[in-house]
């Protein structure tokens, strides 16, 4: 009796394993689709690579000044003490 139940249980478990592993899953069908969708949604102009005209905006001196100001914005001042964080809350004195 126990052997018969064990035999039937193993057949059912084997059938479930075969059916569960057969065929493509939803994950396989949609693999990478979220990355492609995010990339597409973040692209401003998908045909930008087809435009071969030169970009005209800043002249050389203006671009150099802008780039130098950008680089200087990351340097810390020598007298800088960092950020001042003040915490106030219940039961704290100001």
* Secondary structure in 3-state letters for 1-17: CHHHHHHHHHHHHHHHH
Q: Poorest-confidence range of 30-34, 50-54, 76-80, 90-94?
A: 90-94
Confidence label for 10 from pLDDT (cuts 50, 70 and 90): very high
CA 16 – CA 22 distance, rounded (Å): 10
Q: What average pLDDT score do residues 69-84 get? A: 77
C-alpha atoms less than 13 angstroms from C-alpha of 26 in its C-beta half-sphere: 0
pLDDT, residue 79, reads 63
Q: Which residue reads 């950020």 in tokens?
A: 83
Q: What average pLDDT score do residues 71-92 get? A: 71
Asked whether the whole model's pTM tops 0.85, one would answer: no
Q: What average pLDDT score do residues 48-68 get? A: 88
């Amino acid at each position: 009796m126990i052997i018969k139940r064990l035999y039937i249980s193993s057949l059912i478990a084997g059938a479930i394993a075969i059916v569960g592993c057969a065929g493509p899953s939803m994950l396989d069908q949609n693999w990478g689709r979220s990355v492609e969708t995010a990339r597409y949604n973040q692209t401003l102009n998908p045909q930008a690579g087809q435009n071969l005209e030169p970009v005209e905006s800043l002249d050389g001196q203006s671009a150099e000044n802008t780039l130098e100001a950008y680089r200087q914005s990351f340097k810390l001042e020598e007298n800088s003490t960092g950020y001042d964080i003040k915490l106030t809350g219940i039961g704290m004195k100001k």
